[in-house]
Structure 1
């Protein structure tokens, strides 16, 4: 996947996540995808250190799947040189 154009990688990641979670992900989905504990995500949200845009619906946080795919591409896609 390292030689693939960025737009193609993004499409594959986004399509894969959308097939699993649909257009929106909740905090459980995000924690599973990022392999983080929910408490860690809550802490990052509270400290405003989570760069993924979110929607607050009552007490529930929702994340657009495309935004999560963009985050993964930006933060995990540059490890091919290691």
Structure 2
């Protein structure tokens, strides 16, 4: 999936490279280590995405980011 993704979002670049799925994809040669985007940029809406583009998120457990993402998603869903 990483090879087909238009956007790869990571919560902690180094942590994801070390033991996340993004790191596995890098070591397999599917993507390169600089192909990810900090998930915080998505929350700030600084990243352009099309509705049909594949986005992959590798979230390895940064609690503050998890909470911010959940809040933003609920807000966008009108909850």
TM-score interval for Structure 1 and Structure 2 normalised by the shorter chain:
under 0.3
TM-score of the aligned structures, taking structure 1 as reference length: 0.24
Larger helix share, 1 or 2: 1
* More contact order relative to length (CA 8 Å, sep ≥ 6): 2
TM-score of the aligned structures, taking structure 2 as reference length: 0.25
